[in-house]
């Protein structure tokens, strides 16, 4: 775990952002701002406006994504820098480390640094749907969570921490292609 | 490993650093940066030139990555066929075409009328030709199409002598055939290499599937609300199926001995039934081919197309039959899908084999004992053209069937389901895009193309055009008529599955080509190999005519048995080595995993018992620090962030953001 690896990643990413991502991203971002906010020096787009983006509208984790990338104290709304962070984390050129790090934070619903059973249950319910007929039965949920923990919890402490999560993600062939948003 | 992305902070840092450096270094850095930007720009522009990029992106957004893999597979086949056609064209057809313009002198194979084998009655229609006969000729490859560049029989060239060198056309024809088979093999293997590696890892770690489905299950590319709803329901369905499969596996393990005997007897009976059905289908294909060949004189379209019709019917009925039978065999759901698929693959590809076998039996068997010319010259004065015509007919018929099914079955079905609310329609439901069946269709077409290119050199071009139109037909049908399959196909393993089936098709296609080139006597009346007994003979004869004796001896030595056997032995040894290496790696991985588990639990015990004073504090230990410039700030540290405490390294409690 060294700072040098991430430094290289930052460099490459910023190159990509400057040339290919910034201009279209800025255009889309300013469309989300209200008229008064456009004149501010560092405008912050409100969460409701961001959730109307077509790329995020259908995503079940959209609120978590906005919360994770937001830098304000109340975790509400994104500045343009935050927006760029979001796009670069979801872009093709982000490495698996970056993507898995952010995925972990998105899935960690209670922000305690580990994925415990409640987090996993909320995660599965987000994936399958909110209504009663689209949820798993409690027995199935228990069976599913115990299967997930069996596969990913290496030190058998009942929760999935970041390293275990990254280990599981590195063996997951679909992750890179599904954790991708293209504007 | 502070895996965070800083845009403005990094840029400010970089600008500050820039100011400190000398101006020369600054210029070098900015040049470096602009070169990188130029390269990224160029890559972006090149990738936008990729065929159908916009269409495939649209499909990906609407239906996800499973169906996307089918369309990118189709695109791969279009490119493959185009490349094969270019090979064939530039080495076989181009010299003939440019010979008169480049001062070349074409030497034709002389057909001396004395030899009864070299009589080739022209099949061109004489007299007044009715219009519909042109259509019949176009569909069956006979009549006016027979003596064109389309078929093998037209290439009666022995050599083309350009000023300066002589172009040996028979040799070129043979080498291009070998080249396109090898090229296809190499390209497919290269494309499937990544998928194969992943599949190996996945197989070894069979219990990874739940994590993959949950953590990587949501396809963030989906932008359409309907598609999102469908994705959610398909995920739910997949999870329920997997959990049910686990329960079934448990039930199977708990089966009593009496139940097991009963199940095995049922499976045996059903498998015998399946083999009987397959044998019946193959026999009907055999008889249909022989009947159609004998009745070739009638030139009726129905008779010409009889083998194609029988093959298509058989390939339509058998999958339905297999999917009904598999329900009684009581396998686990995943195995059911795979087994049915394997049966369908076997059925499709073997039906082509049976067709070719029946053709071969017709060609090499004469009425009175051994054949005079080595082949049946009474029925087939030019048997290669005949085989080419059969492959041509199969290709054309396949295309017609795909287009007809889409237009006359899928569109009306959608209209009826939408506008007629009766119970039957609702039960039948909207069309599902069944990926495996569609893939088998196009692999079948590609296998025919590989077999037929030797006998019908323009077939790759026809296949390119055919797949080009099929892409648009399927895309329109998908967007307008279909809903995604309720049994979702994994994107990662599906690419690998397509390429494996394609490889099986390639292996099957090389067999008839090899038999045709090396075994059956080539026609004396047509084609480039008139002066040789078998087509393969052109190669040894050319080698023996080489001026350089050392090269000649080397090439003959390479073809001898000694080299072949030693190559085989070396390959076997290499394979055993690689298998042993893989086994050793697997063992090491298992050991390391056990170590992790043990050390984790040991540490838990140790920490819990021997260092009770390690308070899992809320604030981080001063030795844990956040890497400079890393965002976001303000995140509460995970509980228990300690680095070194009383000589014990408990740094594993430091999560990603908090480095020592």
Number of other residues whose CB lies within 10 A of the CB of residue B142: 23
Over the Cα atoms of chain B, what is R_g? Answer: 33
In this prediction, residue B579 has a pLDDT band, given cuts at 50, 70 and 90, of very high
Average model confidence (pLDDT) for chain B? 78
Give CA separation, B144 vs B141, B165, B465, B575, in Å: 8, 34, 21, 52
B74: its two tokens: 């189709």
B44, B201, B638 ranked by CB distance to A113: nearest: B638
Please answer yes or no on whether B207 and A147 come within 8 Å at the CB atom: yes
Distance CA A81, CA A48 (A): 18
Residue B627 has pLDDT above 50, yes or no: no
Lowest mean pLDDT among B54-58, B203-207, B440-444: B203-207
Number of other residues whose CB lies within 10 A of the CB of residue B519: 12
Instruction: Please name the residues between 312 and 371 in chain B that touch chain A, using a CB distance below 8 Å.
Output: none
In this prediction, residue B648 has a pLDDT band, given cuts at 50, 70 and 90, of very low
pLDDT at B413: 82
The larger pLDDT score, comparing residue B641 to residue A165, is at A165
Residue B40 has pLDDT above 70, yes or no: yes
Instruction: Please name the residues between 12 and 31 in chain B that touch chain A, using a CB distance below 8 Å.
Output: 14
Using a CB-CB distance cutoff of 8 angstroms, which residues of chain B are in contact with residue A161? 655
Residue B633 has pLDDT above 50, yes or no: no
Distance CA B546, CA B318 (A): 54
Residue B631 has pLDDT above 70, yes or no: no
Distance CA B390, CA B305 (A): 9
Percent of chain A at pLDDT > 90 equals 13
Give the residue from B152, B143, B436 showing the smallest Cα distance to B300: B143
The DSSP bridge partners found for residue A49 are none
Distance between A44 CA and the closest CA of chain B, angstroms: 15
In this prediction, residue A44 has a pLDDT band, given cuts at 50, 70 and 90, of confident
Q: What is the mean pLDDT of residues A110-116?
A: 89
Q: What is the mean pLDDT of residues B348-367?
A: 87
Lowest mean pLDDT among B170-179, B370-379, B473-482, B556-565: B370-379
The larger pLDDT score, comparing residue B73 to residue B492, is at B73
B59: its two tokens: 């499909």
Contacts 24+ apart (CB under 8 A), B54-62: B55/B471, B55/B475, B59/B475, B59/B478, B59/B479, B60/B221, B61/B221, B61/B222, B61/B223, B61/B224, B61/B227, B62/B222, B62/B224, B62/B227, B62/B479
Using a CB-CB distance cutoff of 8 angstroms, which residues of chain A are in contact with residue B628? 3
In this prediction, residue B236 has a pLDDT band, given cuts at 50, 70 and 90, of confident
Number of other residues whose CB lies within 10 A of the CB of residue B354: 21
Q: DSSP 3-state assignment of A91? A: coil
Q: Please identify which residue in the block is written with the tokens 């995503």.
A: A59
Please answer yes or no on whether A154 and B593 come within 8 Å at the CB atom: yes
Q: What is the largest CA-CA distance in chain A?
A: 54
pLDDT at B265: 92
Report the C-alpha dihedral over residues B91, B96, B102, B105, rounded to 10 degrees. Answer: 120
Tell me which chain A residue has its CA closest to the CA of residue B223: A55
Q: What is the mean pLDDT of residues B636-653?
A: 43
Lowest mean pLDDT among B196-200, B406-410, B467-471, B595-599: B196-200
Using a CB-CB distance cutoff of 8 angstroms, which residues of chain A are in contact with residue B631? 71, 85
Instruction: Give the range with max mean pLDDT: A7-16, A94-103, A167-176, B39-48.
Output: A94-103
Give CA separation, B230 vs B26, B222, B245, B370, B548, in Å: 53, 10, 22, 64, 69
In this prediction, residue B9 has a pLDDT band, given cuts at 50, 70 and 90, of very low
| B222 contacts chain A (CB < 8 A) | yes
Tell me which chain A residue has its CA closest to the CA of residue B600: A155
Residue B459 has pLDDT above 60, yes or no: yes
Residue B424 has pLDDT above 90, yes or no: no
| B605 contacts chain A (CB < 8 A) | no
pLDDT at B451: 94
Distance CA B46, CA B362 (A): 51
B44, B215, B239 ranked by CB distance to A172: nearest: B215
Residue B512 has pLDDT above 60, yes or no: yes
Q: HEC states along B522-566?
A: CCCCCCCCCCCCCHHHHHHHHHHCCCCHHHHHHHHHHCCHHHHHH
Over the Cα atoms of chain A, what is R_g? Answer: 18
The one-character DSSP state at B89 is I
Instruction: Give the range with max mean pLDDT: B59-73, B107-121, B578-592.
Output: B578-592
In this prediction, residue B601 has a pLDDT band, given cuts at 50, 70 and 90, of low
Percent of chain B at pLDDT > 70 equals 78
The one-character DSSP state at B154 is G
Q: DSSP 3-state assignment of B150? A: coil
pLDDT at B645: 40
Lowest mean pLDDT among A3-12, A33-42, B253-262, B599-608: A3-12
The larger pLDDT score, comparing residue A84 to residue B496, is at A84
Distance CA B583, CA B573 (A): 15
Instruction: Judge whether B183 and B177 are in contact, CB under 8 Å.
Output: no
pLDDT at B283: 93
Pairing of strands B482-483, B431-432: parallel
Residue B185 has pLDDT above 80, yes or no: yes
In this prediction, residue B618 has a pLDDT band, given cuts at 50, 70 and 90, of very low
Using a CB-CB distance cutoff of 8 angstroms, which residues of chain B are in contact with residue A112? 638-639
- Judged on CB neighbours under 10 Å (0-12, 13-18, 19+), B429 is exposed
Residue B583 has pLDDT above 80, yes or no: yes
A109: its two tokens: 């619903």
Number of other residues whose CB lies within 10 A of the CB of residue B61: 19
Q: DSSP 3-state assignment of B649? A: strand
Question: pLDDT by residue (tens digit) across B144-156?
Answer: 788 888 888 888 8
Return the axis-axis angle of helices B435-452 and B333-364, rounded to nearest 10°. Answer: 20
B212, B243, B492 ranked by CB distance to A140: nearest: B243
DSSP one-letter string for A141-163: HHHHHHHHHHHH-SS-SSSB-HH
* Terminal Cα-to-Cα distance of chain B (whole angstroms): 10
B413: its two tokens: 């079905």
Using a CB-CB distance cutoff of 8 angstroms, which residues of chain A are in contact with residue B652? 163
Instruction: Judge whether B288 and B354 are in contact, CB under 8 Å.
Output: no
Percent of chain B at pLDDT > 90 equals 22
Distance CA B260, CA B265 (A): 9
Distance CA B568, CA B552 (A): 23
pLDDT at B444: 92
Residue B204 has pLDDT above 60, yes or no: no
In this prediction, residue B613 has a pLDDT band, given cuts at 50, 70 and 90, of very low
The one-character DSSP state at B159 is E
pLDDT at B19: 61
pLDDT at B111: 59
The one-character DSSP state at A132 is G
Using a CB-CB distance cutoff of 8 angstroms, which residues of chain A are in contact with residue B1? 1-3, 5-6, 97
Using a CB-CB distance cutoff of 8 angstroms, which residues of chain A are in contact with residue B207? 147, 150-151
Q: How many helices (H) and strands (E) would you count in chain A?
A: 12, 2
Residue B654 has pLDDT above 50, yes or no: no
Q: What is the mean pLDDT of residues B513-523?
A: 87
Instruction: Give the range with max mean pLDDT: B110-114, B429-433, B530-534.
Output: B530-534
Number of other residues whose CB lies within 10 A of the CB of residue A6: 25
In this prediction, residue A29 has a pLDDT band, given cuts at 50, 70 and 90, of confident
- Judged on CB neighbours under 10 Å (0-12, 13-18, 19+), B7 is buried
Distance CA B339, CA B343 (A): 6
Distance between B198 CA and the closest CA of chain A, angstroms: 7
Cβ neighbours for B157, distance < 8 A, ≥ 6 positions apart: B96, B106, B107, B108, B109, B169, B528
Tell me which chain B residue has its CA closest to the CA of residue A103: B215
Question: pLDDT by residue (tens digit) across B87-106?
Answer: 999 999 888 888 888 777 77
Element (H or E) spanning B466, and its range? Answer: helix B459-481
pLDDT at B426: 66
Distance CA B98, CA B648 (A): 82
Tell me which chain A residue has its CA closest to the CA of residue B33: A15
Residue B297 has pLDDT above 70, yes or no: no
The DSSP bridge partners found for residue B162 are B165
Lowest mean pLDDT among B322-326, B414-418, B576-580, B630-634: B630-634
Give CA separation, A153 vs A39, A158, B35, B329, B423, in Å: 49, 7, 45, 36, 49
B19: its two tokens: 């100011």
pLDDT at B251: 82
Residue B638 has pLDDT above 70, yes or no: no
Model confidence, pTM = 0.70
pLDDT at B573: 96
Question: pLDDT by residue (tens digit) across B61-83?
Answer: 666 666 778 888 899 999 999 99
Q: Which of A7, A62, A128 to mutate to test the interface with B (most CBs of B within 10 A)?
A: A128
Pairing of strands B431-432, B648-649: unpaired
Instruction: Judge whether B626 and B656 are in contact, CB under 8 Å.
Output: no
Residue B226 has pLDDT above 80, yes or no: no
B210, B227, B637 ranked by CB distance to A148: nearest: B210
Distance CA B504, CA B475 (A): 26
Instruction: Judge whether B191 and B79 are in contact, CB under 8 Å.
Output: no
Give CA separation, B170 vs B98, B275, B544, in Å: 17, 43, 15
Give the residue from B431, B578, B448 showing the smallest Cα distance to B502: B448
| Count of pairs with CB atoms under 8 A, one residue in A, one in B | 213
In this prediction, residue B396 has a pLDDT band, given cuts at 50, 70 and 90, of very high
């Amino acid at each position: 775990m060294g700072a040098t690896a991430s430094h290289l990643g930052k460099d490459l990413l910023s190159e990509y952002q400057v040339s290919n991502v910034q201009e279209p991203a800025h255009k889309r971002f300013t469309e989300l701002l209200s008229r008064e906010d456009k004149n501010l020096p560092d405008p912050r787009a409100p969460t409701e406006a961001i959730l109307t983006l077509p790329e995020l509208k259908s995503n079940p984790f959209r609120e978590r994504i906005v919360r994770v990338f937001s830098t304000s104290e109340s975790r509400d709304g994104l500045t343009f820098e935050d927006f760029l962070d979001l796009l670069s984390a979801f872009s093709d050129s982000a490495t698996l480390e970056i993507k898995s790090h952010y995925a972990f934070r998105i899935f960690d619903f209670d922000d305690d640094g580990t994925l415990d059973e409640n987090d996993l249950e909320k995660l599965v319910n987000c994936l399958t749907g909110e209504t009663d007929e689209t949820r798993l039965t409690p027995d199935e949920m228990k069976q599913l969570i115990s299967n997930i923990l069996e596969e990913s919890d290496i030190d058998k402490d009942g929760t999935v921490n970041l390293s275990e999560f990254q280990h599981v993600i590195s063996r997951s062939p679909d992750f890179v292609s599904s954790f991708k948003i293209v504007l | 490993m502070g895996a965070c992305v800083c845009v403005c902070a990094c840029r400010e840092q970089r600008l500050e650093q820039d100011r400190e450096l000398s101006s020369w270094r600054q210029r070098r850095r900015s040049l470096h940066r602009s070169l990188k930007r130029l390269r990224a720009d160029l890559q972006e522009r090149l990738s936008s030139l990729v065929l159908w990029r916009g269409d495939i992106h649209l499909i990906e957004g609407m239906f996800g990555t499973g169906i996307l893999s089918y369309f990118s597979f189709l695109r791969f086949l279009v490119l493959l066929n185009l490349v094969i056609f270019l090979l064939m064209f530039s080495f076989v057809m181009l010299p003939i075409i440019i010979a008169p313009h480049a001062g070349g002198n074409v030497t034709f194979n002389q057909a001396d009328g004395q030899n009864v084998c070299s009589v080739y009655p022209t099949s061109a229609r004489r007299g007044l030709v009715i219009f519909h006969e042109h259509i019949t000729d176009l569909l069956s490859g006979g009549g006016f199409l027979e003596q064109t560049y389309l078929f093998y029989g037209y290439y009666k060239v022995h050599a083309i002598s350009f000023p300066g060198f002589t172009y040996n056309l028979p040799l070129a024809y043979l080498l291009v055939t070998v080249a396109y088979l090898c090229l296809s093999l190499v390209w497919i293997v290269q494309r499937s290499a990544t998928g194969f590696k992943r599949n190996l890892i996945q197989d070894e770690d069979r219990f990874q599937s739940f994590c993959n489905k949950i953590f990587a299950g949501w396809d963030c590319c989906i932008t359409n609300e309907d598609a999102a709803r469908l994705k959610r329901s398909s995920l739910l369905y997949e999870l329920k199926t997997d959990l049910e499969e686990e329960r079934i596996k448990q039930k199977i393990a708990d089966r009593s001995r009496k139940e097991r005997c009963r199940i095995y007897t049922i499976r045996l009976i059903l498998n015998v039934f399946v083999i009987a059905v397959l044998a019946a289908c193959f026999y009907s294909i055999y008889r249909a081919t022989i009947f159609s060949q004998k009745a070739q004189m009638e030139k009726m379209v129905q008779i010409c197309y009889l083998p194609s019709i029988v093959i298509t019917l058989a390939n339509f009925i058998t999958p339905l039959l297999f999917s009904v039978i598999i329900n009684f065999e009581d396998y686990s759901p995943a195995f059911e899908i795979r087994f049915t698929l394997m049966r369908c693959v076997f059925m499709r590809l073997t039906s082509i084999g049976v067709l070719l076998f029946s053709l071969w039996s017709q060609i090499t068997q004469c009425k009175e004992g051994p054949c005079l010319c080595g082949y049946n010259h009474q029925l087939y004065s030019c048997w290669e053209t005949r085989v080419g015509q059969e492959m041509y007919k199969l290709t054309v018929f396949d295309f017609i069937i795909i287009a007809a099914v889409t237009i006359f079955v899928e569109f009306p079905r959608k209209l009826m389901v939408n506008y007629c609310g009766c119970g039957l329609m609702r039960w039948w439901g909207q069309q599902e895009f069944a990926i495996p069946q569609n893939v088998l269709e196009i692999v079948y077409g590609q296998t025919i193309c590989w077999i037929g290119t030797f006998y019908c050199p323009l077939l790759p071009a026809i296949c390119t055009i055919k797949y080009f139109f099929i892409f648009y037909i399927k895309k329109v049908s998908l967007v307008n008529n279909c809903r995604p399959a309720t049994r979702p196909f994994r994107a990662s393993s599906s690419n690998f599955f397509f390429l494996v089936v394609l490889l099986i098709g390639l292996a099957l296609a090389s067999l008839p080509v090899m038999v045709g080139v090396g075994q059956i006597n080539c026609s004396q009346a047509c084609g480039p190999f008139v002066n040789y007994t078998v087509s393969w003979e052109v190669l040894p004869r050319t080698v023996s005519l080489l001026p350089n004796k050392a090269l000649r001896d080397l090439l003959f030595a390479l073809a001898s048995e000694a080299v072949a056997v030693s190559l085989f032995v070396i390959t076997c040894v290499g394979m055993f080595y690689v298998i042993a290496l893989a086994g050793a790696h697997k063992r090491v991985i298992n050991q390391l995993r056990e170590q992790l588990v043990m050390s984790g639990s040991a540490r838990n015990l140790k920490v819990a018992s021997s260092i009770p004073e390690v308070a899992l504090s809320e604030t981080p230990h001063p030795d844990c620090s956040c890497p400079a410039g890393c965002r976001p700030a303000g995140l509460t540290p995970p509980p228990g962030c300690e680095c070194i405490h009383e000589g014990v390294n408990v740094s594993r409690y430091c999560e990603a953001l908090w480095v020592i």
